[in-house]
Structure 1
Amino acid sequence: MITASDPWQGHNFPALFAIALCGAAALLALIVYLCSRLTPRNLRSYTPPAVWRDVSLLTAAASLALYLWGCLHVIFMDREKEGQACEVARPPDVRHLVGMRGDFVPLRLVCRAADGRDYSILIPHYVNPTILVLLLLGLTCGVISVLLSRRAQRIGQGLIR
């Protein structure tokens, strides 16, 4: 039985599986929506706020896909193999390991050394930085979309010329 005081805890599998399932459903919904925006009728009626909104949603979809890709690296790894991966990736100056933990944000599986150092395994190193950049880009595009939309509303109401 695994307890909260167990130093060799990876990710909580039920939570990881639920995240993967819900994330896949959300990703599919985003892809379907974005593909629906590519119909000729929708393309003719595209406005600048709509373009920025859809670019924001595209970056959100890309970051979600990358997060799910990282989750897949952990889902198919059993506990024994995680421990072996910690040993294989152990730096030469680390004498022995004292534990392991799984973090969801940022997504990582961390091996803990006796001297207090940590190192991440299994999740590719490009996943978390790329997710951060995509989310910041998506946030920027979303803010631009809102600002352009509000400006268009004010112009429509005759408040701005």
Structure 2
Amino acid sequence: MASDPWQGHDTTVLFALLFTGAPALIGLTAYLGSRLTRRSRRLITPVRACRDASLAAVAVALALYLWGLLHVLVLEDQEQAHECERHRPEGGSDLVGRRGDFVPLRLVCEASDGRDYSVVVPGYINPSVTVLLVLALVAAAASGILHLKQRTPTPKEG
């Protein structure tokens, strides 16, 4: 129920992300591994290097996100509540709720004074995923620009 202040993460979404993310990560890893063969290394171009750098950044970001999801998965409701209590700020108010967010990935404990704080998901997950996705976007854009420059004929001087 959406109005439940102790809802945490939706397990259907959690399992769907894990069961689609893991095969995607395996596929990306297999593809990137295939790019390391002797034949593939001989055919490397700046366009392909940028594309593969982008895909590598996506793969690492996905692996980190899945790692964070596993942290959420292994703790049951009671253990999550215990983590909220254990990490409650000194002199903090009583806990009034807990919610799970998928973007950014976090388990948020809500206090009666209106403050909230995150537990369970390691603090390095979200910043790392953000930086890696920005890197992936930049590398993909560079690959696209290089590809367009490669295809655009240069005007002949005359």
Q: Secondary structure at the match of 1:130?
A: helix
Q: Secondary structure at the match of 2:9?
A: coil
TM-score by length of 1: 0.94
Give the superposed CA RMSD: 1.2
CA deviations over 1:106-159 (Å, ceiling 9, x no partner): 0000000001101000000110001000000110000000001110111xx344
**Aligned with 2:46 (options 36, 45, 48):** 48
Q: Structure 1 residues 160, 85: CA separation in 2 closer, same or farther (over 3 Å shift)? A: farther
Alignment size in residue pairs: 157
Distance in structure 1 (CA, Å) of the matches to 2:155 and 2:116: 57
- 1:123 corresponds to: 121
Q: Secondary structure at the match of 1:51?
A: helix
Q: Secondary structure at the match of 2:118?
A: strand
- 2:85 corresponds to: 87
CA deviations over 1:16-75 (Å, ceiling 9, x no partner): 011011000100000010011111111111110000000000000000000000000000
TM-score by length of 2: 0.96
Give percent identity, aligned residues only. Answer: 49
- 2:13 corresponds to: 15
The gaps in structure 1 that reach 5 residues or longer are none
Distance in structure 2 (CA, Å) of the matches to 1:151 and 1:21: 39
Aligned partner letter, 2:62? L
The gaps in structure 2 that reach 5 residues or longer are none
After TM superposition, list the pairs within 5 Å mapping 1:27-106 onto structure 2.
27-106=25-104
- 1:114 corresponds to: 112
After TM superposition, list the pairs within 5 Å mapping 1:136-151 onto structure 2.
136-151=134-149
Q: Secondary structure at the match of 1:98?
A: strand
CA deviations over 1:49-105 (Å, ceiling 9, x no partner): 000000000000000000000000000110010011100010112120100000000
Runs of 4+ in 1 over 2 A off after TM superposition: 157-161
